[in-house]
Amino acid sequence: MTPPPIQQELDQLKETINRHNHQYYVLDDPQVPDSEYDRLLHRLQQLEAESPELITADSPSQRVGATPLSAFKQVAHEVPMLSLDNAFDEQQLRDFDRRVRDRLGDETVVNVRYACEPKLDGIAASLLYQDGILVRGATRGDGSTGEDITQNVRTIPSIPLKLLGSGYPSTLEVRGEIYMPHDGFEKLNARARERDEKVFVNPRNAAAGSLRQLDSKVTAQRSLEMCCYSAGWIDGGELPGQHDEILKQFQQWGFRINAEMQVVDGIGACIDYYHQLAAKRDSLPYDIDGIVFKVNSLELQRDLGFVTRAPRWAIAHKFPAQEEITQVLDVEFQVGRTGAITPVARLEPVFVGGVTVSNATLHNMDEIQRLDLMSGDYVTIRRAGDVIPKVVAVLKERRTDEVRAIKMPDGCPVCHSPIERAEGEVVARCTGGLVCEAQRKEAIKHFASRKALDIDGLGDKLVEQLVDEGLIQSVSDLFHLQAEALAALERMGEKSALNLLVAIEASKQTSFPRFLYSLGIREVGEATALSLANNFGTLDALLVSDEESLQEVPDVGPIVAHHIVEFMHNESNLQIIAQLRESGLSWPDIEVKEKASLPLQGQTWVLTGTLELMPRNEAKQQLQTLGAKVAGSVSKKTDCVVAGPGAGSKLTKAQDLGVEVIDEVAFVQRLERYAEA
């Protein structure tokens, strides 16, 4: 019997919208503009409003809208959700592999094939499908019993309400990790700060808090995703015999799987994979806390079996912890290059993120008030990669009567000049300027840094020594240092002194963007310095610019323009610039091109992997000179990706989105063609 026309249209709309959801939220490859998607969804909602008896649970219109719960129901897992044993070093991983091979008892098995997957730092969840329709979502709980979070998982766009395609078992349980990507986490906390609400410590806590909302409308406002990693209860059908093939089958049925997954031969390759992911960990758009290694063959998994509450065929090799608990011993205030007064927590030393940490930034007094931090408190600190450690939460339940309030000092801790906080700014600043020794030191360190004048051998400690000994008072004094005075410094010597003077002399030949960046003008970083140089061409042209003309430069707004004019009209600064030029510091002027004539004007490029023919900074600068914006992530708006050896997730995403990808040789050839044009 042929269904009535309205039922036919409803079925077609649901199938089409589900397909578009899969393309957008799982494959990151939208096939229609948002306006077309909105039109389809509006038509579906219109038909369902006219015929509410035809609304089904798998309809895309039913992701959000259920009545808030009073409490979560308990769910018994038909197949227990087991935990994994952990390995914390390479030897423990090799011991795991040895146990696997010993238990298999086949001396011919030299290298076991392992599936390698990043261990997402989120919340384990179970999704149950009956005849392809999502009927239940549950947390892991204690492994045997979890909580029913069906209403909330239905709001997650990367979870299909109805499986795509065909051939799936009549009963299928899919297990995975629900997590919050970095972008969604930052936006969530930004909204919380605007509303003066409590912020989340990390993405995992944010994901957990979002899933445990009794009102699914709140969950729907959070940026959650799910990545599946295994099957649970199966009935009325079969799955492939290899773990990676199961995940690829899940992908065809509409689920997201991790693009970083690989299958390798032997434990040596597993260790190589661990180091590769550890190196790119901080560039991933989500948190991972280790790698999961699983014997890929399901037949071998069955042979290996389980011990207590963990499988013998899988293990998690954990990364060094990025968060730890320690005590704030004291809070000191440091003075930066621009006079910014920054509170720094002195900590009871703790090992976190692979290093021992004894200091953490507190940013400003507003942050201290937001945290409700007191000296003597126990705190959670976080360190990811090379990021400066920061205090993310105060453990108030461990607070004692011996804690002390933290107060901003009345005067600069270095020069005792008054401290001011401009209206609308969160940063308090020392008003001493170059009278303040701390600001002088920081300004000289910045001037000599790698991205500025790049004076080899002039490190932070030597700068402090030179200022303390009275050998330099400003950056211009660097070019008048004498070998005898340098050699007399502690741990210096004649050879080191001569090497430093050679490096200072070499730094006199620089570029206009580097020189602008070296001056340390507030809010003028590398990209802004390059834009200013390309726009004005010469220092003399920049010196006579006004705020209106400066705001025509890309990346320069009213605040930055004001800082530039203020710096360039300051007599002391002009005197130092003149002294630098008299000392022989020089650079070639830049030919100012019309914006429309720049070959890459308006384009967005991404550099990924290892560049072997030129330094990454040089490649970035050349692209910016040609008018391109160099981004750190790939999106559908990216015009081109330059992929060198070792390119990972950015290359994969570019290929998935159909973005143009070229290697470094083709990139250099293209730059040469632009130079000849």
- Calculate ∠ Cα 652-658-661, nearest 5°: 65
Q: Residue 213 belongs to what domain range?
A: 90-318
What confidence score (pLDDT) does residue 106 get? 66
The pLDDT, as a whole number, for residue 677 is 64
CB of 371 closer than 8 Å to CB of 391: yes
Q: What is the pLDDT of residue 10?
A: 84
**H or E element at residue 352:** strand 341-352
146 and 259: one domain? yes
Pair (194, 293) in one structural domain? yes
Q: E strand or H helix at 226, and its extent?
A: strand 225-235
- Whether residue 519 is found in the same domain as residue 612: no
Question: Closest Cα to residue 302, out of 237, 234, 241?
Answer: 241
Task: For residues 48 and 53, give the distance between their C-alpha atoms in angstroms, rounded to a whole number.
Answer: 8
Distance CA 610, CA 398 (A): 46
Whether the CB-CB separation of 342 and 414 falls below 8 Å is answered with no
The predicted pLDDT at position 30 comes to 57
Q: How many domains, the chain?
A: 6
Flag whether 329 is in a domain: yes
| Dihedral angle sign, alpha carbons of residues 493, 498, 503, 507 | positive
CA distances from 33 to 29, 40, 83, 658 (A): 11, 11, 42, 16
User: Which residues, including other chains, have CB under 8 Å from residue 40's CB and lie 6 or more apart?
Assistant: 13, 16, 17, 20
**Does residue 339 lie in a domain region?**
yes
Per the CB < 8 A criterion, the answer to whether 313 and 301 are in contact is yes
**591 located within any domain:** no
The answer to whether 187 is a known catalytic residue is no
Write the CB contacts of 52 (distance below 8 Å, at least 6 apart in sequence): none
Catalytic one among 14, 73, 119, 162?
Answer: 119
Same domain, 302 and 328: no
Backbone angles phi, psi at 607, to 5 degrees: -105, 130
Of 466, 481, 506, which closes a domain? Answer: 506
Q: What are the average pLDDT values for consecutive 10-residue runs of the chain, which has 677 residues?
A: 73 81 61 64 79 78 61 86 85 92 74 93 93 92 86 91 92 95 89 81 85 84 92 93 95 93 94 91 88 94 82 89 87 90 93 84 88 93 73 89 92 89 83 79 92 92 92 92 92 91 95 93 87 91 91 80 87 89 93 72 86 81 82 87 84 89 90 79
The answer to whether 249 and 239 have CB atoms below 8 angstroms apart is: yes
Cβ atoms within 10 A of the Cβ of 281, count?
A: 17
pTM here?
0.55
Instruction: Tell me the C-alpha distance between 446 and 452, whole Å.
Output: 7
Are 259 and 170 in the same domain?
yes
CATH number at residue 360: 2.40.50.140
- Helix residue spans in 507-630 (DSSP H): 512-518, 526-536, 539-543, 547-550, 558-568, 571-582, 616-625
630: how many CB neighbours lie within 10 A of its CB? 18
- Residue 422: phi, psi to the nearest 5? -65, 150
- Are 360 and 256 in the same domain? no
146: tokens are 């979890």
- From 292, 318, 344, the end of a domain falls on 318
Query: Does residue 198 share a domain with residue 230?
Result: yes
In terms of Cβ atoms closer than 10 Å to its own Cβ (0-12, 13-18, 19+), residue 269 is middle
Query: Which of 269, 303, 318 lies at the terminal end of a domain, its last residue?
Result: 318
Q: Do the Cβ atoms of 257 and 240 come closer than 8 Å?
A: no
Same domain? For 218 and 118 the reply is: yes
CATH of the domain at 545: 1.10.150.20
241 and 160 in a common domain: yes
Tokens 């705020």 correspond to 547
Residues 6+ apart with CB under 8 A from 301: 243, 294, 295, 311, 313
Q: Which residues pair with 118 in a beta bridge?
A: 291
112 falls within a domain: yes
* Domain of residue 56, CATH code: 1.10.287.610
3-class secondary-structure state, position 241? coil
d(CA 154, CA 538): 59
Cα angle value 58/59/65 (rounded, 5°): 100
**Residue 300 belongs to domain with CATH number:** 3.30.470.30
Measured between alpha carbons, how far is 279 from 392 in angstroms, rounded to an integer?
A: 24
Do residues 57 and 193 touch, judged by C-beta distance below 8 A? no
Could you tell me if residue 74 is inside a domain? no
Same domain for 302 and 153, yes or no, is yes
Are 220 and 158 found together in one domain? yes
Query: Would you give the distance in Å from CA 481 to the centre of its chain?
Result: 43
| DSSP labels, 607-646 | EES--SSS-HHHHHHHHHHTT-EEESS--TT--EEEE-TT
Amino acid at the residue 153: V
In the structure encoding, which two tokens stand for residue 41, read together? Answer: 């969804």
| Domain contains 109 | yes
pLDDT confidence of residue 483 = 92
Residue 238 located in a structural domain = yes
Asked whether residue 84 is assigned to any structural domain, the reply reads no
Please indicate, yes or no, whether residues 517 and 495 belong to a single structural domain of this protein. Answer: no
HSE-CB at 413 with a 13 A cutoff on CA atoms is 15
DSSP 242-300: BHHHHHHHHHHTT----TT-EEEEHHHHHHHHHHHHHHHGGGSSS-EEEEEEEESBHHH
Q: At what angle do helices 5-21 and 34-50 cross, to 10 degrees?
A: 140
